[in-house]
Structure formats: C-alpha cells, structure tokens
Amino acid sequence: MRHLMSPMDFTVQELDTLFDLASSIEKNPAKYAHACDGKILATCFYEPSTRTRLSFESAMLRLGGQVLGFSDASSSSASKGESVSDTIRVISGYADICAMRHPKEGAPMVAAEKSDIPVINAGDGGHHHPTQTLTDLLTIRSLKGHIENFTIGLCGDLKFGRTVHSLIKALVRYPGIRFVFISPEELRVPDYITDMLKANDIPYEEVIRLENVMPELDFLYMTRVQRERFFNEEDYVRLKDFYILDTAKMELAKKDMLVLHPLPRVNEISVEVDEDPRAAYFKQAKYGVYVRMALILTLLNITV
C-alpha cells in the first residue's frame, strides 16, 4: 500500500507515467467512467478548501466511485478531542482511500502510519501540498509540452506558502530549471529551501520588485498572502497587497509567459489579467481533476 505525503514520493519516471495517465483521462474520460465502481473516497478536511476537496470528489465521482467525508473539523469528532490516528482507523473501515487536509504539519503522515487505506496529503500547515504540485507540473507539461529548461518566478508569500515549497522541491529534479523568488523581506523563502538549492547547484535569485524580473520569466507563479498563517493582523494588513499583478506589469512579460496561481486569489492578480491569454490559473484548476483521477487510480492499483 502506498500513500502520498510529499511530491518527492514519486520518482520523475513515475510522475511521467502519472501525467501520461492524466492526459489520457483528459482526452478520453468515457474510458475511465467506471474504473472506480464500488470504491469510496473519504475527504477528511480539518481546514477550509474549495479546489482540493471538490476536485478530489469530482475525480472520484468521474471515475464511477462514491465519496464521503467532512469539510470542517468542527463538524467531525475532532471537535470532541479525537486524534487523527483514531479517526483514520475508523475511516479505514468506511472508505478505500482518504484525502486529508490538516492545519498541523505532519498530521496526514501520522494518519498514514495507522491507516489500512492509502492516505493522500491534501495540504498540511505550511509544509506540503503534493497534489497541488502534481496539478502545477501537469499544467506546465500540458501547456508547454515539457517541464525542463524554464525560468520560474514565484511571487508573494514564499515563507508560509506550502504550494511553493512543494513545487520547488519537485522542480529541482528537472534539468535547466532556474528560480526567481520575488517576495518582501518578511516572506522570503525559508533557509532550508535555499540551502537545498545551493547543495544541488540549482540557480536562483531573490528579489523584491516584480517589475524588474518580469521580462526573464517563462512562468510566474503568484501566491496569496495567507491571513491564516500570520500571528498578528497588523503584519498581514501591511503585506497583503504588496504585489498586485495587473495589465501594466503583464506588458513587461514575454509573449508566451504563463501565469499560474494555486488559487484562491484575493487581490494579488487583478481581474483584468484574467482576459490575457497568458493567464492559465483557471485551466490549472481543471488539470487538478485529471491528475487526482490519475492519482486515485494509481494508489488503488487500478488499471484500465
């Protein structure tokens, strides 16, 4: 039995196979419409979500399976003090696979250790969000044809942003990747990430002004400043509108640069940018369904 805790749990070769399957599902969904007949996915979300939970549920329903779960810790017995270890032992008897989001780093890993069914980390605190990374990589591959030899700008909250941490870790395994980290001082990418890049001779630079680096980028990965990760409201208010991508900044970018965002967006991308053909974030959210369908099939060892 296999779980997914980190984007590094799959080799690059395994990711290729997963993305081939996701692309096959996108092209021919009818072929997979009954692949999970009789199977049940549990979504155990202790933290809010729209895309991750609903795309997992959509994925299982589109595969012919069924779903159950909770979308809020307060409506589960966590509110009475039940541990994730006890919860997953019980869920193991109710479902065949579980996607879990939790505000505490490592909680899905604790669950996996006690689980009889595959557990997927659907986001744990500021740590990892591996299925978002699978979504991001599939989007890059589908829209550009490959994942190598790109300059990727990551902008916004690089300190607390789990999508950013997971994506960087996954991308370092592809040749020719160069990173540009764009953030205010207070939200710089953590040292453990830059230490890992230095150790692997991966080129990167850290800047504050987005305008200065726009012309270099092949992808711009925007992120939200996350109110829920701040310890005080004053810091959040000071930093929340530090970056706003608008049409004037898009004019500085390459004609084929693509803008990604894990979403939800607050103010960091002006809605006028949505009409720019380089805005790929809503397509990206759709790729999340295909890759989660492929992941469910892979972890349940179902071949079609």
Q: Given 51, 127, 162, 165, which residue is catalytic?
A: 51
Contacts of 288 (CB under 8 A, 6+ apart): 51, 52, 55, 131, 132, 135
Q: Given 80, 209, 255, 303, which residue is catalytic?
A: 80
Binders of ligand CP among 38-57, rule CB under 6 A?
49-52
- Burial profile 13-33: b = 16 or more Cβ within 10 angstroms, e = fewer: eebeebbebbbebbeeeeebe
Q: Quick check: 262 binds ligand CP (CB under 6 A)?
A: yes
Q: Given 3, 39, 43, 52, which residue is catalytic?
A: 52
- Minimum Å gap between C-beta 128 and ligand CP is 12
CA distance to 6, 149, 167, 197, 300, per residue, from 173 (Å): 14, 11, 11, 11, 26
One-letter identity of residue 65: G
Query: For ligand CP, which is the closer residue by CB, 215 or 264?
Result: 264
In the residue annotation, 188 being an active-site residue is answered as no
| Distance from C-alpha of 121 to C-alpha of 128, rounded to nearest angstrom | 8
Return the structure tokens found at 148.
């190598």
Query: For ligand CP, which is the closer residue by CB, 17 or 50?
Result: 50
Query: For ligand CP, which is the closer residue by CB, 64 or 103?
Result: 103
- Selected from 12, 208, 264, 271, the binder of ligand CP by CB under 6 A is 264
- Selected from 263, 297, 299, 300, the binder of ligand CP by CB under 6 A is 263
CB 182 within 8 A of CB 221: no
- State the residues that interact with ligand CP by CB under 6 A: 49-52, 123, 132, 262-264
Q: Which residues are catalytic?
A: 51-52, 80, 101, 129
